[in-house]
Amino acid sequence: MSLRYESIENLTKLIQEKKVKPSELIEETFKNIKQTDATINSFLALDEAVAMDKAKAMDNQEPTGKLFGIPMGIKDNIVTKDLETTCASKILTGFNPVYNATVMNKLNAENGIVVGKLNMDEFAMGGSTENSFYKKTVNPFDHSAVPGGSSGGSAAAVAASLVPFSLGSDTGGSIRQPASYCGVVGMKPTYGRVSRYGLVAFASSLDQIGPITRNVKDNAKVLEIISGHDNMDSTSAPVEDVDFSSNIEKDIKGLRVAVPKEYLGEGVSEEVRTSVQNAIKELEKMGAEISEVSLPNSKYGVATYYILSSSEASANLARFDGIRYGYQAEGAKNLEELYKKTRQEGFGDEVKRRIMLGTYALSSGYYDAYYKKAQKVRTLIKQDFERVFEAYDVIVGPTAPTVAFDIGAQINDPLTMYANDILTIPINLAGLPSISVPCGEANGRPIGLQLIGKPFDEKTLYNVAYNYEQVFNMSERYQSL
């Protein structure tokens, strides 16, 4: 029997009933990766020997843990002990961490099996996974299209059914946008819900780790595992309620749903607008109460985000100096020259662009004009959401303004590339939870519906997403890829 398209829930049941051995599942997983990933290019590194040894040892054990024997792929900016972690950058080539990220310890405690690290935009800076130093990942639905970014490898591997789930990171839409482009389910949790310890920092006040899956129930299950307070992360929230599944199947009658007029306005393609409006009608049929609202300051989100995130990146990436780990330039005559040559040769163009922008925004004479003003606008954006959530339970709109664009179409036009995150960025600035679920296709390329919730109310988002998934899902399409 083929296990490739099975959910985490079904695979767990098959293993518990002794119908499938963990080693058989892992063996088939690597077989599928070798057959398919030469085209998709979602994986950067495989851990086949370790994974197979772990699975064979499990064959003789009683199943314990919520992920016993389940294969998983991990975005390459999440630290994995003894497995190369490069952030898809030349500057971290050969870096083998000596510890695990907190999320990895949580997944390992449930006996999940890491099969490899997934491609991404270098240091999570990009929206197409074309900024990786190593390779370009393609969209499994259309190999001439990008998979989105920066978690493009994570979304593509799940959409191509190479793993039942993966982890990504989301700074301004980097889980939800590739989830939309690749027709899968991607959750960006509330800021502080999941520990950032062991996530290589891009913008510390925005970054969050989250799961990517092919269905909503699996997504909720993975988030339950990786959530929770962590003393190793000073920004980790002391919130221990991680039950996202118990009411997932209840109806949504009476749910108050807000639709921001800005999210269906200028810049949103006709195909996306139509698919999202059809999805909203389905929610209305289920008994949800739909109303139009306004988020007037969202239009400033992109400018605000790129000032703040680049400023934080400028500080966070200062540690990559060629001394402690990773790539070191040759031929330097002194320490200062070593720093300069290593960073010049080790960082890609997009990373350099954002470091320069962030350094400029933080510099003397410009701090008040840019960074400080951006922080004030961030507060206004957050207050817009707070006002809406006084009267509504969920906000609904598109995840991305268009379907996935062609490979190479925007790589030399950074401002257009940045605009693709216009609908996801405000959620990160406000620290809110948000999930993308498939809601349509246009010319064979998927479209995503974005659900936005109150702080730490992922439970409601999963409930709405699950109900909508019963009307529209991509389960049959995955098997045709």
Fill in the DSSP letter of residue 372: I
Q: Is 309 among the residues known to form the active site? A: no
169 CB-near residues (< 8 Å, 6+ apart): 75, 77, 78, 124, 150, 151, 175, 199, 202, 207, 208, 209, 210
Give the containing element (helix H, strand E) for 310.
Answer: helix 301-316
Cβ atoms of 353 and 417 closer than 8 Å: no
Pairing outcome for strands 185-188 and 434-442:
antiparallel
**Closest CA relative to residue 202, chosen from 66, 310, 279:** 310
With beta carbons less than 8 A apart as the criterion, state whether 445 and 145 touch.
Answer: yes
CB-CB neighbours of 292 under 10 Å: 9
- Find the catalytic residue in 174, 236, 298, 434: 174
- What CA–CA distance (Å, rounded) separates 351 from 357? 10
Distance of CA 368 to the CA centre of its chain: 32
Strand, helix or coil for residue 380: helix
Over its C-alpha atoms, the chain yields an Rg (Å, rounded) of 21
Do the beta carbons of residue 155 and residue 179 sit within 8 Å? yes
Catalytic residue among 23, 54, 75, 459: 75
Are the beta carbons of 262 and 228 closer than 8 angstroms?
no
Q: What length is written for the chain? A: 481
The pair of structure tokens assigned to 120 is: 């991404």
Residue 210 near residue 167 (C-beta atoms within 8 A): yes
179/164 Cα distance (integer angstroms): 14
> Active-site residue among 23, 42, 132, 150?
150
> CB neighbours (10 Å) of residue 334?
8
Tokens coding 260: 């921001």
> Cβ(222)–Cβ(158) under 8 Å?
no
106 is catalytic: no
Residue 332 contacts residue 341 (beta carbons within 8 Å): yes
54 is catalytic: no
CA separation, residue 445 to residues 180, 182, 187 (Å): 9, 8, 20
Pairing between β-strand 394-398 and β-strand 256-260 as defined by DSSP bridges: parallel
Contact (Cβ atoms closer than 8 angstroms) between residue 44 and residue 91: no
Write out the catalytic residue numbers.
75, 150, 174
